[in-house]
């Protein structure tokens, strides 16, 4: 069984990239444009430093936090009235069972070949954090991507401002070095920001639908079969946009903003749209 937290080359690369972009933004872009001795320079350096610290903290937490493993004693109770849905195998209709881990799989759990164990509500295995993204760390992963996008965009704004309002009047080696540093920083920031924006947009969509990446691709195949058979399949865990946000990010906006909020539940059962419909049906 592979545990999270091991340092790998991709993790070292991400940490090195964060360190370089912080140095380039503060000590090249801000210092070269506004100056670290001015009020504007100090303010921008302080804001960017705060964003970089949040980005680094959420990244390290996503690396180290356990995504959630399936208890070996887990057994689905098909007679439990509180559980409105049980996931079964497509072909046989039997309850999902992991032959490698030798236990039943809770809903939304999948076996990770890299981690060599079943992960609760598994989204995907991410090489950049050397960890699975699952029930226990999905929120912190999502918040990290959000902070990374904000930090990169702020750095990009400073970079563009520095390039278009360059106040360096002296031509020489220092000016050439400054421009070279801006070019290198830009070559890193532009594709990185674009990639992170795409990743953030993808996970915003998944959160709004209460889907994992695995469920999305499984759903695409299911919808294809549904069209052939002239019936529709609804994602059972889609509770509506607001309820989806609550179930993933927490019960209030304050908990949404807190990356270490512990409101995630055990991860063995999840509410379905049937539960929402039953709870909102008026009594006669």
**Torsion over CA of 204, 127, 11 and 26, rounded to 10 degrees?**
-30
126 is catalytic: yes
Q: Which of left, alpha, beta for 258 (phi over 0: left; psi -120 to 50: alpha)?
A: beta
Handedness of CA 151, 211, 122, 113 (dihedral sign): negative
| Three-state SS at 69 | strand
The whole-angstrom separation of Cα 24 and Cα 183 is 11
Q: Which of 126, 132, 185, 254 is catalytic?
A: 126
Distance CA 150, CA 52 (A): 10
- Beta strand segments in 26-161, E: 97-98, 103-104, 110-112, 117-119, 124-126, 131-133
Indicate which residues carry an active-site annotation: 126
């Amino acid at each position: 069984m592979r545990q999270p937290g091991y340092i790998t080359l991709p993790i070292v690369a991400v940490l090195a990239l964060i360190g370089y972009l912080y140095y380039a933004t503060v000590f090249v872009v801000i210092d070269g444009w506004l100056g670290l001795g001015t009020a504007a320079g100090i303010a921008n350096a302080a804001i960017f430093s705060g964003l970089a610290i949040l980005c680094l903290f959420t990244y390290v937490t996503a690396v180290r936090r356990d995504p959630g493993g399936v208890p070996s004693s887990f057994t689905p109770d098909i007679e439990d009235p509180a559980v409105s849905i049980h996931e079964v195998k497509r072909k046989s209709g039997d309850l999902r069972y992991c032959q490698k881990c030798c236990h039943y799989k809770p809903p939304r759990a999948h076996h990770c070949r890299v981690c060599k164990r079943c992960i609760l509500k598994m989204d995907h295995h991410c090489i950049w954090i050397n960890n699975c993204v699952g029930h226990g760390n999905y929120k912190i992963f999502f918040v990290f991507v959000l902070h990374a996008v904000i930090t990169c965009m702020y750095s990009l704004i400073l970079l563009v401002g520095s390039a278009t309002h360059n106040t360096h009047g002296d031509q020489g080696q220092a000016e050439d070095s400054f421009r070279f540093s801006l070019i290198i920083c830009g070559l890193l920031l532009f594709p990185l920001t674009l990639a992170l924006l795409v990743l953030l947009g993808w996970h915003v969509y998944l959160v709004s639908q209460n889907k994992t990446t695995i469920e999305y691709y499984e759903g695409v195949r299911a919808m294809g079969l549904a069209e052939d058979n002239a019936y529709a399949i609804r994602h059972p865990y889609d509770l509506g946009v607001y309820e989806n946000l609550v179930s993933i990010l927490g019960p209030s906006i304050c908990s949404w903003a807190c990356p270490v909020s512990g409101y995630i539940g055990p991860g063995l059962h999840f509410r379905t749209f049937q539960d929402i419909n039953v709870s909102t049906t008026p009594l006669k």
